[in-house]
Structure 1
Amino acid sequence: MKAYRLLTEEDTSAFCHKVTEALNKGWVLHGSPSYAFDASTGKMRCAQAVTKEAEGDYSPEVKLGAL
């Protein structure tokens, strides 16, 4: 199966660490990162899609972060 995740975080080093951790677990960048203002918090947020080939079949019970 091909798994997809959208990683999001405030615009801090925590976002870079989240993406770096995913890459080191075998996830691959998918597309360009996004950067937007979150009016509810007054802060900028980042997003990056990642994909990964994983064994097994997809089901809604799959814990994507555990792949």
Structure 2
Amino acid sequence: MAKLYRLLTEEDTSAFCHKVSDALAKGWELYGDPSYAFDAANNVMRCAQAVTKEVDADYSPDMKLGQQ
């Protein structure tokens, strides 16, 4: 069994909320608080949220975390 970690990022729009909601619907759990930062190169705010999930498999760096 392995515990997986992902950091979801996106511009501060509804797309970020949908990305996090999709992960939660697939069994991922929130890990810590969300973060916000200004992306000066693109003149937008960016959001980040860490999520974790326990899976019945051995960890491998080749895993496609978004498909777990």
Q: Per the shorter chain, which TM-score range?
A: over 0.9
Match of 2:39 in 1: 38
Structure 1 segments (4+ residues) deviating >2 Å: none
Q: TM-score, normalised by structure 2?
A: 0.97
Structure 2 residue runs of 5 or longer lacking an equivalent are none
Q: TM-score, normalised by structure 1?
A: 0.98
1:19-46 Cα distance to aligned partner (Å, 9 max, x none): 0000000000000000000011010000
Query: How many residues end up aligned between the 2 structures?
Result: 67
Q: Report the identity percentage.
A: 72
2:54 is equivalent to residue 57 of structure 1? no
